[in-house]
């Protein structure tokens, strides 16, 4: 019997929610009991994935795993910026997961980059596409300390010009 493989990719993104004049996220009542949707989604998704419980048939915890060490993933730069300040532990576990995957996989990390702020690339002009790619690459390099081996395109929307720009920038 031949070996089979499954690749799970996690695409994690939240738009910037800060009030531009206050530079803070105001209370979002629909996210109750949390202050805002970033906090709620972090508590329900990003943080639990960094410390996922492995349980037996009776619900006893057998192990705790950082899911990000086992999946391909990308985090939007605006979300990572928020996490870095709002939940530095989860942020650090995400960065550490990529480092651990690189150690296990001969330098190939699980994290890939994302266009900077979720712009639908085929709808943008060339200048904006270049900006999205370059800013996404630079943010990834600054956070993960390496060049990405891939880039997630928002809504998986692509055109030839975007692919040419991505190829030109590595």
**pLDDT for the residue 143:** 98
- CA-to-CA distance for 42 and 39, rounded, in angstroms? 5
Exposure b/e, 61-98, CB count within 10 A at least 16 = b? eeeeebbbbbebbbbbbbbbbbbeeebeebbebbbebb
Q: Which residues of the chain have pLDDT under 70?
A: none
**Residues found in the chain:** 170
Residue-wise DSSP of 129-160? HHHHHHHHHHHHHHHHSS--S-EEPGGG---H
Question: Helix, strand, coil proportions of the chain in percent (round to 5)?
Answer: 50, 15, 40
pTM over 0.85: yes
């Amino acid at each position: 019997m031949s070996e089979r493989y499954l690749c799970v990719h996690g695409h994690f993104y939240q738009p910037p929610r800060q009030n531009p004049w206050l530079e803070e996220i105001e209370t979002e009542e629909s996210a109750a009991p949390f202050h805002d949707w970033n906090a709620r989604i972090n508590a329900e998704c990003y943080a639990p994935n960094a410390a996922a419980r492995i349980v037996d048939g009776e619900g006893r915890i057998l192990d705790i795993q950082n899911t990000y060490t086992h999946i391909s993933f990308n985090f939007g730069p605006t979300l990572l910026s928020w996490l870095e300040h709002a939940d530095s532990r989860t942020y650090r576990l995400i960065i550490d997961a990529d480092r651990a995957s690189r150690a296990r996989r001969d330098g190939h990390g699980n994290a890939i980059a994302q266009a900077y702020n979720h712009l639908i690339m085929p709808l943008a002009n060339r200048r904006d596409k270049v900006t999205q790619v370059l800013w996404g690459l630079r943010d990834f390099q600054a956070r993960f300390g390496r060049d990405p081996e891939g880039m997630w395109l928002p809504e998986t929307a692509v055109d030839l010009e975007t692919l040419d720009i991505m190829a030109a920038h590595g």
